[in-house]
Structure 1
Amino acid sequence: MSSMLDHLKSELMKEELKALFKEAYELGIQDSKKQYKYPLLLTKKDLAEIFQVKEATVNKIVGRRGFPKARFVSARYPRDEVFKWMEENSV
């Protein structure tokens, strides 16, 4: 009886973990679709869409110390570094 109960608990846990992993995977896919739909170098228009603000606010954001900027093209911002910056500078 105890062995059967342990087996049922094990199966239940396996199914719960499977559902949890599937949900985490799907959320990861959604997150990457949001990020990777943008080009490698972002424009201020892209940033306005990402931050959901007007371009005047984008000008303030990109003027902040430490905000990632492309070194070889003016007014372009490296996508992956921008998303990393967002994570590191969000509360």
Structure 2
Amino acid sequence: MTNEHRRQCRAALWHWQLLERQPTPENQCWTHALRQTAAYYQQQDPIRAGILEQRYRRHQTEQQVLDTLHIGRTTYQKANADLLSTLAVYAAKQGVL
């Protein structure tokens, strides 16, 4: 994943609700990729699912997420990197990366 891909994935995560409210073809692709990522982690990993919900849906601060999920910064950083990678895969399948 390039730095540009990472930037695009971070932007999509942060603006998730906006993408859902503005259903352009590109936004719909991103929304689908975001939902696939969320569904995957709902089934596979509650920590990453929690980060998606707390940080990117509720826009809590990093510290609030750490406190809510009872995880350390290193765990958060690794999980966040994994989220970006997973989203990039689904976004590439949708043709937006």
TM-score (norm 2): 0.29
Choose 1 or 2 for highest CA Rg. Answer: 1
* Structure with more helix by fraction: 2
Compare the two structures and name the one with the higher strand fraction: 1
**Structure 1 length as normaliser, TM-score?**
0.30
